[in-house]
Amino acid sequence: MRIRSIWAVTIAVAIASAASPAVASDLPSGPADWTCGKQITLTKKSARALMKDASYEGDTVGKNAFMVLQTSVDAGGVSLLVKRGNDWRAYGVQSGGGLQAVRYDRKSGTVIVFSMLSREGPGQSFTVLTAQDDLTSIACADIRFPDELNDPVYAGEYVDFSDFNVDAVGKGALIGRATFERNGAEVKRIYRWSTPDRGRTWSKPETLEQEPGPLLGSLVVAPKASSVLVAQAKRFWKIR
């Protein structure tokens, strides 16, 4: 359950931020600055704050490159850095988001990012950013969790990201799992959402009765970004 590890990191980051509040205040602030797919204008100061103590996942895609950043959930969230030629640009994914997964395909020039609201407890949907056409086209979608969760009132129930992939033409599926309690009994569910266009649009969830096998397709898990890629981004924003 990746979100639980993110909460542990969030607590550690919050303690560090208390000791150096100026760093958190330098970050792009407010949900409007982190709207999914919206370009974030970074100054040298805000770029330094964004990249300080962040985790980086990324790689090259054709002639371009990307890095997905997870910064403090309380002060920031999930963002995407895209390198096109010698130029770097930053895009919001989710304010207060906890990174769930990053999948990419070098051949089609596609990167797909999954995030879930993690500030003050788990959210009730996945935010999905799809960057394709060699990272030149960016779109976002929201995958709502099934209605049976948090019914009749919010109880902190959420879906764990389990698996995702698409084929060469963009058709694929997302698998998620949930465990919750009803009438004193533990209930376990496996859900599947389908996409015809690399995550730009999604079907409603269906409940699976049997354990699904691994999803095969053209996407692979994004690695930790190399020190060279991180250094290139820092050099662009003149960060030492």
Provide the residue ranges of all domains of the chain, joining segments of one domain with +: 2-236
Give the whole-number percent of the chain exceeding pLDDT 90: 70
pLDDT tens profile 151-169? 999 999 999 999 999 999 9
pLDDT for position 27? 66
Separation of alpha carbons 200 and 17, rounded Å: 35
Q: In the β-sheet with 110-117, what is the strand arrangement from edge to edge?
A: 137-144, 125-132, 110-117, 97-105, 220-221
pTM (two decimals) = 0.87
pLDDT band at 36 (very low <50, low <70, confident <90, very high): very high
Check whether 4 has a pLDDT greater than 70: no
Check whether 87 has a pLDDT greater than 80: yes
pLDDT band at 214 (very low <50, low <70, confident <90, very high): very high
Give the whole-number percent of the chain exceeding pLDDT 70: 86
pLDDT band at 108 (very low <50, low <70, confident <90, very high): confident
Separation of alpha carbons 113 and 165, rounded Å: 12
pLDDT band at 210 (very low <50, low <70, confident <90, very high): very high
Tell me what the mean pLDDT of segment 12-35 comes to. Answer: 49
Output DSSP code: residue 152.
Answer: S
Calculate the average pLDDT of the chain.
87
Separation of alpha carbons 64 and 69, rounded Å: 17
